[in-house]
Copies of this chain bind each other. A is one copy, B any other.
Amino acid sequence: MRPQEDGSARQRQPGASGRPRDGGSKLLERKTTLAAIAAAAGVSLPTVSKVVNGRPDVAAETRARVERLLDEYNYARPGPRRQRRGGLIDLVLAGLDSPWAVEILRGVEEWGAAHETGVAVSSVRHGSARPASWTSTVASHDSSGVILVTSRLTDEQLVQLRSAAIPLVVVDPANAPPPDIPSVGATNWAGGIAATEHLLGLGHRRIGVISGPGDMLCSLARIDGYRSALDRAGVEYDPSIVRYGDFHHEGGFARAVELLDRPDPPTAIFAGSDQQAFGVYEAARLRGMRVPQDLSVVGFDDLPVTRWASPPMTSIRQPLADMGSVAAQMLGDLIEGKPLRSTRVELSTELMVRESTAVPGRPVK
């Protein structure tokens, strides 16, 4: 039922710069070429079509063999899809339960509205869930390109990314993907410095950290920024008050309880996500401590909910909506065949001071 069930229909259409061609005979010629390639590769015509269309369900070795032959036969590969049918890009999110997903969506949608481009949103599914991969989700409708939002790009996703034949940009607020994949992130190290210098400036000397998971680059970058700021201020780094969390409320709560129950608890905690910082608030409440009078707290992300926190939360802003817009702009350039100025863009983080931070051990009012 769908168009483009075989490779022939995905061939480049004459663009503004090309003269119209004799569609019928050209089409036949291309079909013949694909059949010849199938024969040479020892595979079926549908398999060749799959490779041409960037479908994932082809063995890597077969794909390589067919692609080599496509090059040898000088077969015109699908050009930028904009020329065929436009108006729709895909935003694939690691999950729709994260509050930053909607922030990134907001930026992508804004770009889409300004460029008369629809934004199809879907979520990566794991395990036995259907569809098995985001690539098949995207294949179910016509997409000009894909923005993948993740906080942990898996090897499997990487393979899918590389085999997909459509323009692709990754937004990853946590890790930088391999340099050959266009991506947008934020300046995590600078964020670690800003949070720590803010607390040092208020007079804190014993500053705990609950970073993200220990195997994520952003966690390391934020801790390195923290450490660097301590160094510059001549404050000794104490690894016993530096913890790795899980980005979630629960991890922030559990690690904060550990820190506050120490004989030498910190007077301030820098949390690697707002969700973790909410966990720190709860740990403080259960220990009878007031924020910020007894404990200063800095979050990371600056989600809208930081303004609802009681007290309103000081946080390091990741410009998530802007990251979405920039990714969409990069994707738009790729779709139109324009070269990217840079394959990795990092937008700057920013300290947003609210009421969860104060001079240590002195009531504020």
Given A109-B123, A285-B310, A310-B310; A117-B140 close (CB under 8 Å): yes
Among B118, B123, B285, B309, the residue within 8 A (CB) of A141 is: B118
Judged by a CB distance under 8 angstroms, whether A206 is at the interface is no
Judged by a CB distance under 8 angstroms, whether A97 is at the interface is yes
Interface-located stretch among A17-25, A157-165, A257-265, A275-283: A275-283
- Chain A interface size, under 10 / 10 to 19 / 20 to 34 / 35 or more: 35 or more
Chain B residues with CB under 8 A of A109:
96, 121-123
Q: Which of A107-135 contact B (CB under 8 A)?
A: 109-110, 112-114, 116-123, 125, 129-131
Judged by a CB distance under 8 angstroms, whether A88 is at the interface is yes
Chain A interface main SS type: mixed
Judged by a CB distance under 8 angstroms, whether A361 is at the interface is no
Interchain CA distance A91-B105 in the complex, whole Å:
13
Q: Is the CB of B131 within 8 A of A249?
A: no
Interchain CA distance A228-B309 in the complex, whole Å:
32
Judged by a CB distance under 8 angstroms, whether A304 is at the interface is yes
Chain B residues with CB under 8 A of A120:
88, 118-121
Judged by a CB distance under 8 angstroms, whether A153 is at the interface is no
Count of chain copies? 2
Judged by a CB distance under 8 angstroms, whether A213 is at the interface is no
Chain B residues with CB under 8 A of A275:
308
* Min distance, Cβ A365 to any Cβ of chain B, angstroms: 10
Judged by a CB distance under 8 angstroms, whether A214 is at the interface is no
Chain B residues with CB under 8 A of A86:
1
Q: Is the CB of A105 within 8 A of B131?
A: no
Chain B residues with CB under 8 A of A282:
308, 310-312
**Residue among A114, A118, A278, A281 with the most chain B CB within 10 A?**
A118
Q: Which residue on chain B has the smallest CB distance to residue A274?
A: B308
Q: Is the CB of B97 within 8 A of A113?
A: no
Q: Is the CB of B116 within 8 A of A140?
A: yes
Q: Is the CB of A278 within 8 A of B116?
A: no
Chain B residues with CB under 8 A of A99:
99, 102, 304-305
Q: Is the CB of A118 within 8 A of B130?
A: no
Judged by a CB distance under 8 angstroms, whether A87 is at the interface is yes
Interchain CA distance A136-B242 in the complex, whole Å:
52
Q: Is the CB of A119 within 8 A of B116?
A: no
Query: Other than the known A2-B87, A113-B131, what 13 A-B pairs have Cβ atoms closer than 8 Å?
Result: A87-B140, A87-B141, A102-B102, A109-B122, A113-B122, A113-B123, A113-B130, A113-B137, A120-B120, A120-B121, A121-B121, A281-B310, A310-B310
Q: Which residue on chain B has the smallest CB distance to residue A284?
A: B310
Interchain CA distance A308-B312 in the complex, whole Å:
13
